[in-house]
Structure 1
Amino acid sequence: MAATSLVLDGPAGAPLQEQLAEALRGAILAGRLAPGTRLLSTRALSEQLDLSRNTVLNAYARLLAEGYLVGHTGSGTYVARELPERHASVRRAASRGPARGLEAEPPALSRRGAALAAVPAPFDLARGIPPGRMAFRLGVPALDAFPSELWGRLLHTRWRRSWGDLLSWAPPAGHPPLRRAIADYLATSRGVRCVPEQVLIVSGSQQAMSLAAQVLMDPGDAAWVEDPGYFATLGALTAAGATAVPVPVDAEGLDVEAGLRLRPDAKLAFVTPAHQFPLGVVMSPRRRQALLAWAARAKAWVLEDDYDSEFRYVGRPLPALQGRIPDARVLYTGTFSKVVAPSLRVGYLVVPEALVDAFAAARGFAGLSSPVLEQAVLADFLTQGHFNRHVRRMRVLYAARQDALVEAARRELKGLVDVEPTHTGMHLTGWLPEGVDDRAASARAAQAGLLAFPLSQFRLESRGRGALMLGYSPVPEEQMDDSVARLARALR
């Protein structure tokens, strides 16, 4: 690639890294940089364009995250062979000649549709990273330890016994035996107050958030979201026409007093109190009480996302916020994606009895029901005791993998990334030295075939020290040393 072919002529005042990213993106979409083309190294390009190397690193990081570039360990950065779908029509039109009809003038979206299309989706962060490259990927369980033979036997038995029933429609709220099994499990393991009728089966926590926003909020209503936090909540709120209010997170979790200063009239608060995502802090009892008191006083609701509470390595899991007091204005959601497998796409939402009918109706309109066979097999997995045994095995396995990550990091990443152990979860926060751009560091990791998300990707308005999110659950112990060493080489 010739540097002289790039023209940095972005909007006046735009940062140079944005101008460079736009120039590279334009060259890719115009075909001047063909799929599979190897780009110059960041050092070489910075010298040819007389830019700082950090500027080039940041531009590459942006295009890696957007899916225009991919990194290959030891060989450099390349133009992706499959470009993002939202620009596929541009490439097809260029190859066929003048565009006509919808391609020449794309249909206008509604204001809400345009806003929703602009929200970063969770999978965008992993775009261009081959599925086999799992080192440090967030939210992925140990698929190498999945009980495949047992699951296959349960699947065969359930189909043989009940195939006639499983081919019919299922209730929108979910397979009744699974709802009963989940209610029993949550009562004993998490202290959740519920009966089976309050449990709705959803396709995951994302759908639970969307249902809560649509059922409980009107367009223009405000909702508190953690900052930094799980960015997919923005999609749920945008689809409902609601307004996200970023509330800072500190060592005690969501800062309720800050939320009261920002928008005391909010109708909903999205929180991860047991293990805040992504920082990993636990909401203090004082903050929990303040949050529940605000919800009762303001007649607002709290959506408690308990996404990985099963994995606590010291003592018992903390009781859920939902069961802290009777009649708490709390909806509780969890998922089997992080405990069993992501492709299962089965989660649950526990709603107060007064809201059951409304949420069941909304769930029906959102897609009738989740696949019945998977629900039936999962019910057997729970009721026969396999789920609890699997969780116990995973706790031991993940504790060992966390120890391996911490030990390797202290040996290989000294001065580069500060990694400390925690008592819960599936990932650790690797803090970078002050002044180091975590997006650039993430891009360097991606070039080494490692998916270490930058903490800044999860920030809305908050600022602070950069960090890399290091998921250890999918990395076998025997591969941890090599993965950490590759990260160290990339960051050096």
Structure 2
Amino acid sequence: MKRHAGAVLSSIKIDKTAEKKISIQLYMALRDLLLTGALTPGDRMPATRTLAQEIGVSRTTVIDATDRLISEGLLEARVGAGTFVSEALNARLAPKPSQEASDITPVVPRLSHATRHAIPDFTLRSRLPHKSQAFVTALPALDAFPMAQWAKLSARHWRKDRDHIAGYGEPFGYMPLRRAIARQLNASRGIKCDPEQIFITNGAQRAFSLVGGMLVNPGEPIWFENPGAIGARNAFVAIGARPIPVAVDEEGLCIEDGLAKAPYFRLAFVTPSHQQPLGHVMSLSRRLALLTAANEADAMIVEDDYDGEFYFGDQPPPTLKSIDTHGRVIYVGTFSKSLFPALRLGFVLVPEGLVESFERVCLTWLAGVPTVTQAIVAEFMDEGMFATHIRTMRQLYKHRHDTLMAESASLAGDIDLQPTSSGFHAVGLLSNRYDEDRIVAEAAKHGITTAPLSRYALGRIPQRGIVLGFGSSAQDDIRKGMKVLKKILPVCCTS
């Protein structure tokens, strides 16, 4: 392999009209870079010929400056390898000036009105899940993903024309992927749509921001499930919307509660196929009532179908979009759960009446998702690999769900685990004797990740519990995790 050419030192400026010799200017500039930490110990310096060409001086001048720095111990020459920043430089690096000694007063930039008002309402969260362990939520079974097939498809596409893989993505999305998604939605979710209604985004979160920015004015009320999805809520808060906490029961969003709090809402956000986080499936009567309420209020509905592919019950319910007859539902999907989160790939399916507006916005200021990523996913779907993967994951998640339910029997009376028929997380309701935050903290000490139910709440909720993910956990890890919960419960009792 060809050795890399070293650091690019384009910050060095030589004044050939100055009285100071060019070699001295170069020496002092290099010395300053070394002593201020711009170049770190072990970094390879560019070859003398390369550096001379880049800054417009003779090679002899560069050699003189370099030799002087070597003699001072700031650089070291390695035979046959080149010149490197000395490891001994660690002891000589100039300390950063203290705030008291600095003459520069840092400026705190003024935030926008929307951001200043949104920050207090944001629900803080740590890094999104990235490590498979019990009981991480929102992370699919990465251990079961067909990586070998994916690698072959990826290699094939990375060898294609560079204009195809390296340029800006298409603003609306790669058409073969839009077609594949339209076919998939029709076959598996009962949604009939044209590919032109589908817009590819950098994940579902970007879709929520896009929808909110286009449809909701600052201060306008939006119905939001309470408890509900944190990321989506933050996206709408960021654009200045006013989330209205609407209660959720076993049938899903309580329409009467929403109408009592904000009858003239601008938008409603729901997760009807698998309520986030309670896991309920919205009943058909509630779906019809929501559509009626939206129609009467001239409002829109965002249906977040984040893990709807993984329904392992008897019969999957219809999507809200599939029974929408007035063009009120905007359907958002993601590949973070069906494939893997690092793709950062989602999509939004808009009613026909919004297609032109979305095209104008996307064409005006969105750069598009990388084409090569979309092309790989499109072929993965067109070749039938996606459907096969979904079937495999449904069975896997059902087995892991059943294991979780079986192991939870020993905690009956303390943690009442709610069965689910979709996705890969479940909620364990707690008796009033336990503090959910204390359980989460104690579990973390044993390497177990859980989330308190209150973390998802926009307002007061009657339930107290913890959210347990089972999708990314092997069955042995689920069993060990439940043993840990049983062990720590006595120290988490409040009475």
Whether TM-score is above 0.5 comes out as yes
CA distance in 1 between counterparts of 2:195 and 2:102 reads 55
Contact 2:380 2:386 in 1 (8 A): yes
Contact 1:310 1:317 in 2 (8 A): no
1:177 is matched with which residue?
A: 176
Identity %: 38
Q: Which runs of 5+ in 2 are unaligned?
A: 1-94, 491-495
Q: 2:451 corresponds to which letter in structure 1?
A: F
Which of 448, 451, 460 pairs up with 1:450? 448
Distance 1:95 1:269, change over 3 A: farther
CA distance in 1 between counterparts of 2:481 and 2:321 reads 39
Q: 1:116 corresponds to which letter in structure 2?
A: A
- For the pair 1:113 / 2:115, whether they are aligned, the reply is yes
1:98 is matched with which residue?
A: 100
Instruction: Compute the displacement of 1:465 (Å).
Output: 2.9
Contact 1:213 1:237 in 2 (8 A): yes
Distance 1:437 1:120, change over 3 A: farther
Distance 1:99 1:226, change over 3 A: farther
Instruction: Please identify the structure whose Cα radius of gyration is greater.
Output: 2
Secondary structure at the counterpart of residue 279 of structure 1 = coil
Residues 182-193 of structure 1: pairs in structure 2 closer than 5 A? 182-193=181-192
Instruction: Compute the displacement of 1:349 (Å).
Output: 0.3
Could you say what the CA RMSD is over the residues aligned between the two structures, in angstroms?
Answer: 2.2
CA distance in 2 between counterparts of 1:437 and 1:322 reads 39
Distance 1:94 1:480, change over 3 A: farther
Residues 189-200 of structure 1: pairs in structure 2 closer than 5 A? 189-200=188-199
2:330 is matched with which residue?
A: 331
1:251 is matched with which residue?
A: 250
- For the pair 1:204 / 2:203, whether they are aligned, the reply is yes
Contact 1:292 1:328 in 2 (8 A): no
Q: Which runs of 5+ in 1 are unaligned?
A: 1-92
Q: 2:113 corresponds to which letter in structure 1?
A: R
2:7 is matched with which residue?
A: none
Residues 115-146 of structure 1 show CA distances to partners (whole Å, capped at 9, x for unaligned) of 33344457x2458x9x5463211110001111
Residues 398-477 of structure 1: pairs in structure 2 closer than 5 A? 398-411=397-410, 413-477=411-475
CA distance in 1 between counterparts of 2:485 and 2:366 reads 42
Secondary structure at the counterpart of residue 96 of structure 1 = coil
TM, length-normalised to structure 1: 0.76
Contact 1:126 1:451 in 2 (8 A): no
Instruction: Compute the displacement of 1:353 (Å).
Output: 1.6
Residues 347-366 of structure 1: pairs in structure 2 closer than 5 A? 347-364=346-363
CA distance in 1 between counterparts of 2:351 and 2:427 reads 35
CA distance in 2 between counterparts of 1:99 and 1:268 reads 53
Secondary structure at the counterpart of residue 309 of structure 2 = coil
Contact 1:435 1:465 in 2 (8 A): no
Distance 1:106 1:430, change over 3 A: same
Instruction: Compute the displacement of 1:422 (Å).
Output: 1.8
Secondary structure at the counterpart of residue 135 of structure 1 = coil
CA distance in 1 between counterparts of 2:155 and 2:121 reads 41
Secondary structure at the counterpart of residue 218 of structure 1 = coil
1:8 is matched with which residue?
A: none
Instruction: Compute the displacement of 1:317 (Å).
Output: 2.5
Q: 1:438 corresponds to which letter in structure 2?
A: E
Instruction: Compute the displacement of 1:359 (Å).
Output: 1.8
1:484 is matched with which residue?
A: 482
Q: How many residues are matched?
A: 396
Instruction: Compute the displacement of 1:97 (Å).
Output: 3.7
Instruction: Compute the displacement of 1:102 (Å).
Output: 8.2
1:213 is matched with which residue?
A: 212
Contact 2:138 2:424 in 1 (8 A): yes
Instruction: Compute the displacement of 1:434 (Å).
Output: 1.6
